[in-house]
């Protein structure tokens, strides 16, 4: 958008103390609009990290929640990613499309409290788990979109960890979960005077860190995408056989990951597609840490190649922080995730589209690695081209 078409700067009457007419707050450099919220328009004109983005595909989705051919935006500096995902998209389209399903959907925050001793901590945990309705009421009071799904607790010494899992509608839900956790903590401190506040986040969440707990209990959207490719489609589009891809997946993604000590993760490069998709759609990019903890599974069958990606921790949303940036808004609109649907349906659709991009990119890379030298030749061809001449 040209500078002449941007909205005029608004006065900063409601911005936090210290904001100037240009919207800066001291050394932090934050920008605020008239309502005190992030001023994305001015931020984009003053400082913007430009990451190249292209629309890739279309990827053909064959249900059950998403159907049709849909192009996917990917923002990355790794330019070979675009043609690689596109190759996977062509292969899966030849098979009639990929299917994807959301297994689970929740956001979690774990509060941390200190008790005088382990007996007290255990007694409080038992009491809380037996009064779920009270906790649900505290959660629901914080937002019309928040509802309690489950509680899990751990006692370590005199420390009490309580993991609160909630539904968050179309938001990724970080702030919603934290607000709910604050309310629950306040209730517990009032009901149990012997407890002391330690932190609203006790790392049993576990946010933006590698862990086993999120894959087991759930944090974000748990999505599985799969496809069955006929053998001729593998040869035509991927220059590989089902047997070669399946064998490489076992030796590289499974055995190699075990030797590396990977945690609930057995894949070639889920993070590549997820980061590119997150940046293009206004997601919190740091969530690729848990998002990339996925599993790629492949089988050589009579009818061809069965190929799937399981992504248990996709933290994505279509509303919330960052989603009002003009380019993000346009990308979300083109993806069809700003439509009037039931709460949470747009975010589920977005997670399915992300899983589709991951499957296509993962399939293409594994196929390339079955052929000696193919991966390096592609990178040299696409990344080492001479820059255009300038006068």
Catalogue the active-site residues: 78, 208, 284, 379
Q: Could you write out the DSSP letters of every residue in 122-134?
A: HHHHHHHHT-HHH
Q: Could you write out the DSSP letters of every residue in 67-125?
A: EEEEEEEEE-S-TTHHHHHHHHHHHHHHTT-EEEEEEEEEEEEEEEEE-SSHHHHHHHH
Separation between Cα atoms, residue 145 and residue 136, nearest integer Å: 12
Dmax over Cα atoms in the chain, in whole Å? 76
The DSSP 8-state label assigned to residue 62 in this structure reads: E
Residue 306's beta-bridge partner residues?
Answer: 228, 299
* Bridge-based pairing state of the strands 196-199 and 147-156: unpaired
Separation between Cα atoms, residue 299 and residue 308, nearest integer Å: 9
Separation between Cα atoms, residue 147 and residue 169, nearest integer Å: 9
Separation between Cα atoms, residue 179 and residue 64, nearest integer Å: 34
Q: How far is CA 365 from the centre of its chain?
A: 21
Q: Which helix H or strand E contains 58, and what residues bound it?
A: strand 53-64
């Amino acid at each position: 958008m040209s500078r002449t078409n941007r909205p005029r700067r608004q006065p900063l009457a409601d911005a936090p103390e210290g904001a100037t007419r240009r919207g800066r707050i001291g050394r932090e450099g934050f920008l605020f609009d008239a309502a005190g919220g992030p001023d994305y328009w001015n931020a984009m004109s003053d400082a913007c990290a430009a990451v190249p983005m292209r629309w890739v595909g279309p990827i053909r989705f064959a249900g059950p929640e998403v159907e049709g051919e849909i192009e996917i935006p990917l923002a990355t500096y790794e330019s070979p990613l675009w043609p690689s995902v596109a190759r996977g998209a062509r292969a899966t389209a030849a098979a009639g499309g990929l299917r994807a399903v959301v297994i689970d959907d929740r956001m979690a925050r774990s509060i941390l409290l200190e008790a005088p001793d382990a007996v007290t901590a255990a007694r409080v945990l038992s009491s809380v788990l037996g009064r779920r309705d009270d906790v649900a009421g505290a959660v629901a009071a914080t937002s019309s979109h928040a509802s309690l799904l489950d509680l899990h607790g751990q006692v370590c010494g005199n420390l009490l960890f309580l993991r609160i899992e909630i539904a968050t509608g179309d938001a990724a839900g970080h702030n919603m979960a934290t607000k709910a956790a604050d309310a629950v903590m306040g209730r517990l401190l009032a009901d149990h005077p012997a407890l002391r506040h330690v932190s609203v986040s006790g790392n049993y969440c576990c946010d933006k860190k590698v862990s086993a707990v999120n894959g087991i209990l759930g944090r974000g959207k748990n999505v599985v995408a799969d496809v069955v490719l006929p053998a001729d489609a593998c040869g035509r589009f991927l220059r590989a056989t089902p047997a070669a891809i399946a064998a490489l997946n076992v030796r590289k993604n499974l055995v190699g990951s075990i030797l590396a000590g990977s945690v609930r993760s057995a894949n070639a490069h889920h993070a590549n597609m997820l980061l590119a998709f997150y940046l293009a759609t206004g997601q919190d990019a740091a969530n690729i840490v848990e998002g990339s903890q996925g599993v790629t599974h492949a089988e050589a069958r009579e009818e061809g190649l069965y190929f799937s990606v399981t992504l248990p921790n996709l933290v994505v949303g279509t509303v919330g922080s960052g989603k009002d940036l003009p380019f993000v808004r346009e990308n979300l609109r083109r993806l069809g995730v700003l439509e009037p649907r039931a709460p949470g349906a747009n975010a589920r659709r977005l997670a399915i589209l992300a899983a589709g991009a991951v499957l296509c990119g993962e399939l293409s890379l594994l196929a390339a690695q079955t052929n000696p030298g193919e991966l390096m030749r592609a990178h040299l061809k696409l990344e080492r081209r001479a820059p255009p001449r300038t006068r």
